Amino acid sequence: MESKILVPVDRSERSDRALEYAVESFPDAELTVLHVINPSSYWYGNTDGYIYSDEIESWLRRQGEAVLEDARRTAADYDREIRTELKLGSPARTITEYAAANDIDHVVLGSHGRDGVSRILLGSVAEAVARRAPVPVTIVR
């Protein structure tokens, strides 16, 4: 039986390593690469409060598609085809919900995409996915 592997990507070095690991380690698996746009990271303030505009979302979607195109090229370097998905939401929640809703057998993701204070303050997506995922999780460093 062919397994279904989910590989969330965020254009970080560790995310790239996770994709390469999944491609190499699961040669017979169906790979789905997921990029999650986190809108709360792109709100900006003014005197009327915080704004999240259609223009910002459109820009974020274009950036997300570029991330997924990079993933397609990486997979092609290994002579592999992948499915890609672009979702909007909280990264950890979106990854775990996607895994549950799409009969994913395993999640492979990078250990973290942020460094320094932002990683400590914002928490680790990898840690949250490892705790909440309904399937095994491999964290690549």
pTM of the model as a whole:
0.86
Q: Encoding tokens for residue 83?
A: 């499915």
pLDDT in tens, the chain (141 residues): 579 999 999 989 999 999 999 999 999 999 999 999 987 766 555 555 556 678 888 989 999 999 999 999 999 999 999 999 999 999 999 999 999 999 999 999 998 755 555 455 445 899 999 999 999 999 998
pLDDT given for residue 42 in this prediction: 60
pLDDT given for residue 54 in this prediction: 80
Fold held by 4-140: Rossmann fold (3.40.50)
Cα distance between residue 19 and residue 96, in whole Å: 17
